[in-house]
Amino acid sequence: MATAFPTRPNVSTTPRLPDCNHYLDRTAATPLVPVRLDADGPTIWCKLEFLNPSGSTKDRIAGYILHKAVRTGKVAPGGLVVEASSGSTSIAMALASAQLGLRFIAVMPEGVSRERRLIIESYGGEVVFSPKAEGILGALAGAEAVAKERGAYLPLQFENPDNPGAHRSRTACEILGQIPGGCVDAVVTGVGTGGTLVGLFEGLCDHGCSPTAFAARPVTGAALGGAGAECCSFSGRIPGVVDGLSTIYTRFRTERAASLVELDVPDEEAVELARRLIRKGFPVGPSSGLNYLAALMVAQRLGPNAQIVTVFPDRMERYFSTELFNQA
């Protein structure tokens, strides 16, 4: 008999949420699969987050944050949500807003791909552009201004504790129910807001594991083996991931997570590894290559019996026009 898919922990529904068409709290857990690319290489446990409804791990935080905001009255039914993000979070928030009957505006730096804009607009969202030169900080300032002017709810993924909270209470629990023996020795991911890594680490600790948390820092060729992180901007080659410990990232540090270990990972090899994963049938984006490469490096440190978990955050289709497909 087929084994039933484990479901995500139930999120209580309230009479204020639509009682039809609403599926975000009914989707199955994403698979956690052992991946070994080379016959004599280590096995890494990979959480297939690209299988979330909008195609990325950001569905975790979008559903959790917006659902909670409606439940606690931070946003009224039919209310307006504004988020700054150049990528997956805006798309996930647009989908979750459509599901929850909310209106949504994404503030994005000019120059993001046409596809991203079209996806958001197809979910009924609106896109407002901030100056390209100001990057994500310009988008954050723009979101604040729009929210003030139009009385909107700002989820603020970079500082909202419900961002790591979503991974702590759900993704980590899924992993513990899926990995043999319920024990994780290391959790490894690249860092954007830091919500995934800190949330997974905290959630695993909550249930009696004591994993080491490794933050994968993409480093370009010559900078490898250098003096360590000085910069903290978003990496060009690995979208969604910062190339150093940023103040944004440290916002989610807690007492327990104070021992996060930073790992330099060559970004060109990471992109090549993402291509290899795609050829094996994992339709992933560049950050999955980064995460997998970082996990291989951790496996070398911890030895063959270590249970190492990483995440495949998003899908390859978002990167057709980039270096991943030799288009940049």
* Residues marked as catalytic: 58, 287
Closest CA to 189 of 306, 80, 269, 309: 309
Q: Which is nearer to ligand PMP, 142 or 313 (CB)?
A: 313
- Residues of the shown chain interacting with ligand PMP in the complex, contacts defined by CB under 6 A: 88, 189-196, 239-241, 285, 287, 311, 313-314
> From the CB of 311, what's the least distance to ligand PMP, in Å?
6
Q: Which is nearer to ligand PMP, 99 or 288 (CB)?
A: 288
Report yes or no: 310 and 46 within 8 Å, Cβ to Cβ: yes
Q: Which is nearer to ligand PMP, 88 or 160 (CB)?
A: 88
> From the CB of 181, what's the least distance to ligand PMP, in Å?
25
> From the CB of 292, what's the least distance to ligand PMP, in Å?
11
Q: Which is nearer to ligand PMP, 240 or 266 (CB)?
A: 240
> From the CB of 218, what's the least distance to ligand PMP, in Å?
10
Q: How does strand 44-48 pair with strand 261-266? A: unpaired
Report yes or no: 151 and 80 within 8 Å, Cβ to Cβ: yes
Q: Which is nearer to ligand PMP, 61 or 82 (CB)?
A: 61
> From the CB of 14, what's the least distance to ligand PMP, in Å?
27
